[in-house]
Amino acid sequence: MNRRRWLLGAMLAVAIAFGLGQEAISVHYRTPESHLLDFLTGLSYLIAGAVCLDRRPGNRIGGLMFFAGVAWFLPPYSILEVAPLTVLAQYANVLPVCLLAHIVLAYPSGHLSTRLERVFVATMYTTMAGLNTASLLVFDPQSWGCAECSAMPAPWPDEQAWGAVRTTSDIVSAVLAFGFVVAVVMRYRRSTVIARRDLLPLWVGSSMVGLLVFLESLTPDAPTGFPYFLFQIRVVLMMVVPLVFLYGLLAQRTARTSMGGLVVELDEVPVGGDLDALLSRALGDPNARLIVADSTEQVDIRAWVADAGLVAAESQTLTVVERDGRELAAIIHERSIEPDLVAGVATASALAIENDYLQRELRNQLEEVRASRARIVAAADEERRRVERDLHDGAQQRLLTLALALRRARMQAADGPEPDPKLELTLIQAGDELKLAIDELRELARGIHPAILTDSGLGTAVVALADRTSIPVDVQSRLDRRPPASVEAAAYFVVSEALANIVKHAEADKASIRLSCPNGVLEVCVIDNGRGGATMADGSGLHGLLDRVAAINGTLDIVSEAGCGTTVRAHLPVTEGDAR
Amino acid sequence: MRTVLIVDDHDGFRSWAREVLRREGFRVVGTAEDGRRAIDAVHQLHPDVVLLDVQLPDMSGFDVADEVGDDAIVVLTSSRSAADYGHRVASSSATAFIAKDELTGARLYAEAFGDRG
């Protein structure tokens, strides 16, 4: 607990002791009133005032309310016949009602918002102070024969003048009470829907107090009967009004407590989603809107919102959502909503918006990495195709030309006048070696990138692959058009690797390959009837293809229960428009 | 003597094949360096056999074979092996495939005419 709270607690304790003291005096002197009701009414103002001072130190409402509680307890002290107390008690007779009117008209900001209200409150304090001063000057009941009355020495005791002051006071009270009710009605009429919803109980309660003061002014003072009944009802209502204030404060605390929930909800809704509904709920304002800056760059959001004409109603205002000095968004809301609540919502919104910016940035970076990886794989594929073409057009052609030259040399040697069997044998051996070299080069080129895949497509290339496999392989291709080159290459190498594994490890006597492209996804399925038990991580070579498949946003999985064969399945997305 | 038309875009192969096939019992009636000229030559020269390279500058050997149809026996050839073309060889109009480094007159004769020679 900080020093301010200690001080506040001490003030409250002293004020309560003060209240208990006045009740003790009332009981001692047998004042005809409900002591408990009287004490509770004063206490409700003290507590509501203290809570308000604690929660909103800068708001005048708390001080006014605490003062009203103290003033409420003051009048009975006049019985002690201590001159200063007697004077203060005289002023304190009507002060709580005046303070209540001031509080109601100034709530919740603490300031009187219109000139009329300011004039009304000033008139109320001035006339009441003037009438009480006049009363102090002429009211001296003992001087006109009331022996049991308290001593109220007045400079100019005059019973007739005092009667005139009382009559004037009743008239002024009636006029002011009526004026207060009119002021409340005017306030209601110019308020927003939210303000009406939040403040209606306060306005109704205080207006009833005003009407009761009006009625009391028209009836003679009496400790019993109808006048006393009116007084008791007014006291009860005056006790209720601070409770309504307290309820308002606690409701704001509830709203703040729900801020955590708002943060969670904001996190679940992407910016651009239905954030307005969340804000409306959190602020209790059905017309609340969150305007988020399009760019992460620094923007003047006030000017931007003003240019767009987004603050539509006179009753609305704009709160900028900031984070680290950067304006992220603006909340458009009713002016009457508590600034603390709006600030809380703004902070939660800032967190959510910044989080969304970060997520978007991360997504963009991830997308860029994916695209980059796909480009790298595509470039590698293109390079493989180029190398295969170069091998075919270059080294392979030269070796072929050499082979043909050797064949020609053999023919010439055989056709010569003196055949040389040794030379012929050497040429034959050289030709055989050359043929082996050509075959190996063909195999190498095929492994780098099969020409048939480039020339004839995946289905044909896979059939060629199956034909070269040492076990029967059934191929079923249901491709009505060619997928993109990168997808074809990934699918081909998955099939190639799977078939190589089958031959090397699976002990299968047959296999099948299924190619289909339902719903824009190329499905490649290689199934064998071997011993199963294969995994992706056992150095099968399929693991190395995971990156290639992932680079085009595909998936590769293997199902291989021991004794039940193996199924290798790849799903490769084919972007609409990329298919050939 | 059987007649043959040699179609290939490489001069060296055309002259070499011409020499080999002439020596080994064929009469070379002409040569062509691309698909369109090859089709024209088939219609003008009516060879018994067309030795046709798969990769030509203007069209593939498979397409040329389809256009030649029954007008001549087509034997495809390439510096690649038949395995590189998969079932396209079998499904084409060509009668057979001989890798260039395996070309001989006897082989061409056997692939083109079988036992009919």
The per-residue DSSP string of A424-493 comes to: HHHHHHHHHHHHHHHHHHHHHHHHH--HHHHHH-HHHHHHHHHHTSSS-EEEEEE-SSPPPHHHHHHHHH
Q: What is the pLDDT of residue A276?
A: 76
pLDDT band of residue A1 (cuts 50, 70, 90) is: low
A452, A465, A470: best mutation site toward chain B, by most B Cβ within 10 Å? A452
User: Helix, strand, coil shares of chain B as percentages rounded to 5?
Assistant: 50, 25, 25
Minimal Cβ distance to B83: which of A397, A435, A467: A467
Mean pLDDT for B59-70 is 92
Q: CA A361, CA A292: separation in Å to the nearest integer?
A: 16
Distance (Å) from the C-alpha of residue A431 to the closest C-alpha of chain B? 9
**Residue A192 CB neighbours (<10 A):** 18
**B83 lies within 8 A of chain A by CB:** yes
- Taking CB atoms and an 8 Å limit, are B79 and A392 in contact across chains? yes
Q: What is the pLDDT of residue A263?
A: 64
pLDDT band of residue B79 (cuts 50, 70, 90) is: confident
pLDDT at A184 over 80: yes
Q: What is the pLDDT of residue A257?
A: 54
Q: How distant, in Å, are the alpha carbons of A239, A379, A534 from that of A44?
A: 6, 80, 79
Q: Are A77 and A35 in contact, with CB atoms under 8 Å apart?
A: no
What average pLDDT is seen over chain A? 83
Distance (Å) from the C-alpha of residue A563 to the closest C-alpha of chain B? 32
Name chain A contacts of B12, Cβ cutoff 8 Å.
Answer: 401, 404
Mean pLDDT for A159-170 is 88
Minimal Cβ distance to B81: which of A434, A442, A461: A442
Helix (H, G, I), strand (E, B) or coil at A333: strand
Distance (Å) from the C-alpha of residue B17 to the closest C-alpha of chain A? 9
**A429 lies within 8 A of chain B by CB:** no
Q: CA B95, CA B37: separation in Å to the nearest integer?
A: 20
Q: Are A481 and A522 in contact, with CB atoms under 8 Å apart?
A: no
Q: What is the pLDDT of residue A268?
A: 64
> Is this structure's pTM higher than 0.90?
no
Cα nearest neighbour of A469 on chain B: B83
- Taking CB atoms and an 8 Å limit, are B85 and A456 in contact across chains? yes
DSSP 8-class letter at B55? B
- Taking CB atoms and an 8 Å limit, are A464 and B87 in contact across chains? yes
pLDDT at A299 over 80: no
Q: What is the pLDDT of residue B110?
A: 93
CA dihedral A474, A478, A483, A487 (to 10 degrees): -40
Q: CA A339, CA A569: separation in Å to the nearest integer?
A: 59
Q: What is the 3-state secondary structure (H, E, C) of A314-332?
A: CCEEEEEEEECCEEEEEEE
- Taking CB atoms and an 8 Å limit, are B81 and A403 in contact across chains? no
Range of lowest pLDDT (A28-32, A38-42, A89-93, A389-393) = A28-32
Q: At CB < 8 A and 24+ separation, what contacts does B47-50 make?
A: B47/B3, B47/B4, B47/B5, B47/B72, B48/B2, B48/B3, B48/B4, B48/B72, B48/B73, B48/B112, B49/B2, B49/B3, B49/B4, B49/B5, B49/B73, B49/B74, B49/B75, B49/B108, B49/B112, B50/B4, B50/B5, B50/B7, B50/B74, B50/B75
- Taking CB atoms and an 8 Å limit, are A464 and B83 in contact across chains? yes
- Taking CB atoms and an 8 Å limit, are B86 and A392 in contact across chains? no
Q: What is the pLDDT of residue A254?
A: 56
**B59 lies within 8 A of chain A by CB:** no
Q: CA nearest A131: which of A105, A161, A102?
A: A161
Q: Burial code of A351-378, b = ≥16 C-beta within 10 A, e = fewer?
A: bbbbebbeeeeeeeeeeeeeeebbeebb
Q: What is the pLDDT of residue B96?
A: 93
Distance (Å) from the C-alpha of residue A561 to the closest C-alpha of chain B? 33
Name chain B contacts of A397, Cβ cutoff 8 Å.
Answer: 10, 79
B8, B59, B87, B91: best mutation site toward chain A, by most A Cβ within 10 Å? B87
pLDDT at B109 over 90: yes
Mean pLDDT for A127-135 is 90
Q: CA A216, CA A229: separation in Å to the nearest integer?
A: 10
Between residues B33 and A296, the one the model is more confident about: B33
pLDDT at A158 over 70: yes
Find residue B99's DSSP bridge partners. B78
- Taking CB atoms and an 8 Å limit, are A452 and B23 in contact across chains? no
Range of lowest pLDDT (A401-405, A411-415, A435-439) = A411-415
Distance (Å) from the C-alpha of residue A404 to the closest C-alpha of chain B? 7
**B85 lies within 8 A of chain A by CB:** yes
Q: CA A238, CA B52: separation in Å to the nearest integer?
A: 112
Name chain A contacts of B100, Cβ cutoff 8 Å.
Answer: 400, 404
